[in-house]
Amino acid sequence: MTAPAKSARKTIPKSRLIAPVQPLPAELELALARFRLRATLRLLWLEKLWGEEGAPDARATISHDEIESNLADCDSPQAESSWLERDESTRRYIGKLAEVEASLASDQSSRLAALNQIFGLSAEESNLLQACVAVALDPSLARVCAYLQDHTGRAYVTEDMAARLFHYGRSSVWSAESALFRWELISSKDAGAGEPRALACDPQIRDWLLARHTLDEALVGVAHLHAPQSPLRLWPVEETVRFINRTIHGSSPERARLAIVGARGSGRKTFAATVSAALRFPLLVIEADQIDEQHWPRVFLRAQRHAFLERCALAWTGEAVSRRLWPQSVPLFPLQFIICEVNQEPPPVSELIERRIKLPALNIRERAELWRGYIPASKKWPKEDFEPLVQTHRVYVGDIADAARARVGNAEEAVARIRQAARLRLTGLAQLLECPFDWDDLVVREPVNETLRDIVFEARNRAAFWEKEQARRMFPQGRGLMALLSGPPGTGKTMAAQVIAASLSYDLFRVDLSAVVSKYVGETSQNLERILSRAADMDAVLLFDEADAMFSKRVSEVRDAQDKFANTDAAYLLQAIESFPGIALLATNQKHNIDPAFIRRLRFVIDFEKPDAAQRFEIWTRVIERLAGCERVEAMHDDLKSLAESVDATGAQIKFAILGAIFIAKRAGRDLEMAHLLRGLERELAKEGRALPARDRRRMMRDGA
């Protein structure tokens, strides 16, 4: 029998098993050597004392010799210094220590020296830091600390121990206001009742000294580096760089904070990163919304410390930025950015030079170039699809980049993607409405229909028009597309808004007035401002239902403070609407209650009337055809005509009457008949206290039979 073959084993190269040890930077080797030499000298002195009073042996009890030694002050700083100078055994250590400390003193370019310069450390502070750094670099030195303190539980640096090592006396010379503790370069932890505080070098400081570019643990999950990209032509990069250079590098250097204002996806962070890169600063973006109130001061401090260490600019983003106060006790890195939306800039800080930069919207040419740049395949998309995408949809560079990441394959998919991204901007501020209707579903008078089509045409072509310099000069205000839809309930105002939005491939958002109108002074205008600022550059149609509640007439005779503030709110709303550059439709059934000054600012005022008999018949037949089929419409044609002529009803009442009738018929197991329609209609009329006349009901039932 043949012996089984031995399984093949891969031989791992020896070089992969034993990785080469990376040497420490020279200044850190010197810091370690210095700590060891000073610890050795202290140890020699303590061993001399212990030899005279008996070995310490981590005493559980206090010996008579120890008490006598303490009372005689044998371990005084003066006695120790005198002995170290006289004793022959210490001379070679003292000589070596002098060489090491001379080398450290001459160092002006290392990271250890830079740490002293950045945070303005005194000689005493630098010495304490070096002691903590030494233990952090070589944890075995923690046992040396315990031995020097004659206490096995004190395996750490203490201020008293450091004071003796560096010959500062019996106890600490470092205050709580020291830069070491203020900047958290070393941590100070309570070690228990009666025990001295345990000191340790912050891990981030240790890593930085070792040239490891790690993120501070307090910033993990809330901060990231943002890479620069080629700037857009209209971005004021050069002008901004010149301003920052004058501010932070001028004859009297100041600290600069720039508020970069724009909508989400407008490239605010990329703009800040591009400006920072031109100044040779990386950009660290910090998401303020991810930081709770309790941890804000510490994260803020760590962010500033990280900026000084890594020489990076900071960009603060998120809604929380506008309401968070910047701690005044923390020195600020010279260059900071605030990434915010319109009217959400934070309160000013007195020691900062502030500047506000609003990023311009993309023009049609830039949008076309970006689509082709991010999605090269779009160059082959049909012209009739690509041009409406570019001209009608006012997207941002972030929207186009997102569509590219989603690998959209055509213009239709691109529109769907950018609409999905835009919806997030109004989350919690307005309700997204479905828009399933088209022009055939909308039954209104011909003049109303034509005016609605005018709105759609202007909406499609307005972007190119307002890019013309003369148009903007002639109309510095009032570039928005505003229409008032007035009429009784159920006459098609909301459906008209849905048809307009669907025709434009825009989303329709209904503004919830309960979330906007407030009884508190100034809150109504603030709430509306949030909505309008976010919707200003969106591909969306805003629908304000019950607009009379928000844009009511101002009080002509001011009787009290409430009247005064109500007029102030109304004046602000007029100004805000006039400045709004987007598309807004306002629906009301009480046009007479709306301020005439507001109506004059609208582009369109459309009156929706109750449908006449011919329109009612059209609505009856169209809805039944879509829900029950053409056969039912043909079977009830004459009855429906008679019903339309006899009963005054709105379009909404007719729709819901048919809906109720369909379920009544289903319950009876029959096809839809006139009797079912009459029952459904009676329900709707009853909502407004009306009833179908008995004579008309009998006649229609008889005719229907």
Q: Which two tokens stand for residue 647?
A: 């009963």
Q: Alpha carbon of 552 to those of 269, 517, 557: distances in Å? A: 40, 12, 15
Q: How far apart are CA 372 and CA 367, in angstroms?
A: 9
pLDDT exceeds cutoff 70 at 686: yes
* The one-letter amino acid at 648: D
Confidence at 64, pLDDT banded by 50, 70, 90: low
Query: Stretch 254-283: mean pLDDT, rounded?
Result: 94
Handedness of CA 563, 566, 570, 572 (dihedral sign): positive
Residue with tokens 């250590």: 93
Position 485 scores a pLDDT of: 95
pLDDT exceeds cutoff 70 at 614: yes
Q: How far apart are CA 157 and CA 294, in angstroms?
A: 29
pLDDT tens sequence across 165-215: 999 988 888 998 899 999 999 999 988 888 899 999 999 999 999 999 889
Position 56 scores a pLDDT of: 55
Give the DSSP letter of residue 52: H
CB burial class (10 A; 0-12, 13-18, 19+) of residue 458? middle
Q: How far apart are CA 693 and CA 625, in angstroms?
A: 27
Position 624 scores a pLDDT of: 94
pLDDT exceeds cutoff 70 at 537: yes
Query: Stretch 699-705: mean pLDDT, rounded?
Result: 61
Position 9 scores a pLDDT of: 58
Q: How far apart are CA 16 and CA 483, in angstroms?
A: 74
Confidence at 477, pLDDT banded by 50, 70, 90: confident
Closest CA to 229 of 273, 278, 279, 281: 273
Q: Which two tokens stand for residue 409?
A: 């394959």
- Between 595 and 110, residue with greater pLDDT: 110
pLDDT tens sequence across 71-128: 767 888 899 999 998 988 899 999 999 999 999 999 999 999 999 999 999 999 999 9
Q: How far apart are CA 516 and CA 510, in angstroms?
A: 12
| 8 A C-beta contact, residue 141 and residue 213 | no
Q: How far apart are CA 451 and CA 494, in angstroms?
A: 15
Position 563 scores a pLDDT of: 44
Helices and strands (DSSP H and E) totals, the chain: 31, 14
217-358 and 439-607: identical CATH topology = yes
Highest average pLDDT, of 127-136, 186-195, 400-409, comes from 127-136
Position 513 scores a pLDDT of: 66
Query: Which residues, 6 or more positions from 223, have their beta carbon under 8 angstroms from its beta carbon?
Result: 215, 284, 285, 286, 287, 303, 306
Q: Is 313 helix (H, G, I), strand (E, B) or coil?
A: strand
Q: How far apart are CA 32 and CA 131, in angstroms?
A: 8
Q: What is the helix (H) or strand (E) element at residue 215, kind and residue range? A: none
**Sequence spans of domains, the chain:** 26-54+64-191, 217-358, 364-426, 439-607, 613-704
Write out the CATH class of domain 439-607.
alpha beta
Pairing type for strands 507-511 and 430-433 reads: antiparallel
pLDDT exceeds cutoff 80 at 525: no
Helix axes 383-392, 364-374, angle to 10 degrees: 120
Query: Which residues, 6 or more positions from 639, have their beta carbon under 8 angstroms from its beta carbon?
Result: 674, 700, 703, 704
| 8 A C-beta contact, residue 534 and residue 426 | yes
Q: How many CB atoms lie within 10 A of CB 534?
A: 24
Q: How far apart are CA 506 and CA 394, in angstroms?
A: 11
Query: Stretch 618-639: mean pLDDT, rounded?
Result: 93
Q: Is 62 helix (H, G, I), strand (E, B) or coil?
A: coil
Helix/strand/coil (H/E/C) assignment for every residue in 547-577? HHHCCECCCCCCCCHHHHHHHHHHHHHHHHH
Confidence at 16, pLDDT banded by 50, 70, 90: low
Q: Which of 154-168, 481-495, 542-556 has the lowest mean pLDDT?
A: 542-556
The CATH architecture assigned to 217-358 reads 3-Layer(aba) Sandwich (3.40)
Closest CA to 88 of 131, 29, 54, 48: 48
pLDDT exceeds cutoff 60 at 566: no
pLDDT exceeds cutoff 50 at 564: no
pLDDT exceeds cutoff 70 at 342: yes
| 8 A C-beta contact, residue 288 and residue 316 | yes
pLDDT tens sequence across 375-395: 999 999 999 999 989 988 888
In the chain, pLDDT over 90 holds for what percent of residues? 60
Q: How far apart are CA 109 and CA 302, in angstroms?
A: 24
Give the DSSP letter of residue 89: G
Position 49 scores a pLDDT of: 87
pLDDT exceeds cutoff 50 at 367: yes
Position 94 scores a pLDDT of: 95
Position 51 scores a pLDDT of: 80
pLDDT exceeds cutoff 90 at 599: no
Looking at every residue in the chain, the average pLDDT score rounds to 87
pTM of the predicted model, to two decimals?
Answer: 0.74
Residue with tokens 């200003």: 536
